[in-house]
Amino acid sequence: MITASLLYQNGSFTKIENHENSDLSLFKLVIGFGSRALLSAPKSYENIKNKFPNAQIALCSSAGEIFGNEVLDDSISLVAISFASSTIATAEVHIEDFPSSYEAGKSLIQKLPQDNLKLAFILSDGGKVNGSELVKGMNSVKTNEVLITGGLAGDGDKFEETIVGINSIPTSGNVIAIGLYGDKLRLSHGSLGGWESFGLERTVTKSKENVLYEIDDKNALELYKTYLGKYADELPSSALLFPLSIKLSNEQEPIVRTILSINEKDQSMTFAGDLPEGSQVRFMKANFDRLIDAASEAASTCLEMNTNNPKLALLISCVGRKIILGNRIDEEVEAVSEIFGENTILTGFYSYGEISPLKPLTNCELHNQTMTITCINEID
């Protein structure tokens, strides 16, 4: 397995990390994360294609780009990959071609050749797609041996439009899958948040998909404002500081849900994933050091699954973490780097949702406010 990483800024490649001096024209796969403005410019795609004429090129808009130990904006962070024996396949669907995100998820996985499929790495539109339903659809048709990870595209802190594409200029509404195949692949993953729960566990009593109306038969927005105290006047922006943890069943570990917006008229809250009636929720709050520690723990989880340091680590972290950590944001990427060491290439982006199993090689889930890592290696 050979990798190279490149940074594209202001119309040109400003950094190239190609330690094995590989011929860039021979790479078979390129994955890039960048600002919507840059990715939608035809010149950007043309320059990337000229640099990698024989590669499949997957591009996804972001709320911040990860290049090595740096977190950047207004750039495109690219990683190029070639395998010795493992193979690659890609698939793409458009959300408007399906009656639901669930059906889109099913179709996407079914489009990939299934024989010896090890990893489906997903990059999805982050505005038009219901991430919870997308992962349910993918889980419904995948085999137990297949690992599914990935994330929802971002758009900075604008939340206007996200774009994704494979072998073309990325556009809105797309969901793509990169399938990796081969017995010599070594994969691992980790996903942790680092948030602190507080208050009582409560039950969702009225909701519709990702819109929450009542908790314990009480108005959810009023209850939420009570917990926020002085921060209630700063809604909806302050909601990033206080997500919800949700347990979909008694057996499942909690996952985190970010609040996207509030509606004073109907007293509802819209989240970045579904909150089914009957699920158990608790309020959460940010602890800066714990957020950074969680990024380190996610990396350690990857090493526990595969003791060999990975050649490549794909990092997908939530835009909420980036906003909260502010000028400390580099620390969570540096924490990951310290675990893996200098021989692991780091790339990734800040997203509107992260896709990863909670436990090794189980069904994937939609997460918010986590650092999610996918590690890829190929043994000789």
DSSP 197-222: EEEEEEEEEEEETTEEEEETTEEHHH
Nearest to 260 by CA among 199, 217, 316, 323: 323
39 and 163 housed in the same domain: yes
Structural domain ending residue among the three candidates 270, 285, 300: 285
155 and 210 housed in the same domain: no
CA dist 10 to 15, 32, 133, 156, 346, Å?
Answer: 12, 15, 37, 17, 22
Structural domain ending residue among the three candidates 234, 260, 285: 285
179 and 326 housed in the same domain: yes
Phi, psi at 18, each rounded to 5°: -135, 75
- Maximal CA-CA distance, the chain: 63
96 and 177 housed in the same domain: yes
DSSP state string for 59-75: EEE-SSEEETTEEESSS
The pLDDT value recorded for residue 251 is 65
Helices (H), the chain: 36-39, 42-51, 101-111, 131-141, 220-228, 288-305, 319-325, 330-340
* Residue-by-residue pLDDT tens, the chain, 380 positions: 999 999 999 999 999 999 889 999 999 999 999 999 999 999 999 999 999 999 999 999 999 999 999 999 999 999 999 999 999 999 999 999 999 999 999 999 999 999 999 999 999 999 899 999 999 999 999 988 899 999 999 998 888 899 999 999 999 999 999 999 999 999 999 999 988 888 889 999 999 988 999 999 999 999 889 888 888 888 877 777 888 999 877 767 888 888 877 889 999 998 888 899 999 999 888 888 999 999 999 999 999 987 678 999 999 999 989 988 999 999 999 999 999 999 999 999 999 999 999 887 789 999 988 999 999 999 88
Quick check: helix, strand or coil at residue 296? helix
Q: What is the per-residue burial (b if ≥16 Cβ within 10 Å, else e) of 230-245?
A: eebeebeeebbbbbbb
Structural domain ending residue among the three candidates 262, 285, 308: 285
Quick check: helix, strand or coil at residue 97? helix
278 and 295 housed in the same domain: no
97 and 237 housed in the same domain: no
Q: Which domain holds residue 71?
A: 2-192+290-378
158 and 74 housed in the same domain: yes
15 and 135 housed in the same domain: yes
Q: What is the per-residue burial (b if ≥16 Cβ within 10 Å, else e) of 259-279?
A: bbebeeeeebbebbbbbeeeb
Nearest to 306 by CA among 195, 120, 121, 147: 147
The pLDDT value recorded for residue 144 is 85
126 and 74 housed in the same domain: yes
- Rounded-to-10 torsion of CA 133, 71, 310, 363: -10
Token pair recorded at residue 126: 């982050």
356 and 232 housed in the same domain: no
130 and 245 housed in the same domain: no
8 and 106 housed in the same domain: yes
Question: Is-cis flag, bond preceding 236, omega within 30?
Answer: yes
Number of domains in the chain: 2
The identity of residue 35, as a single letter, is: S
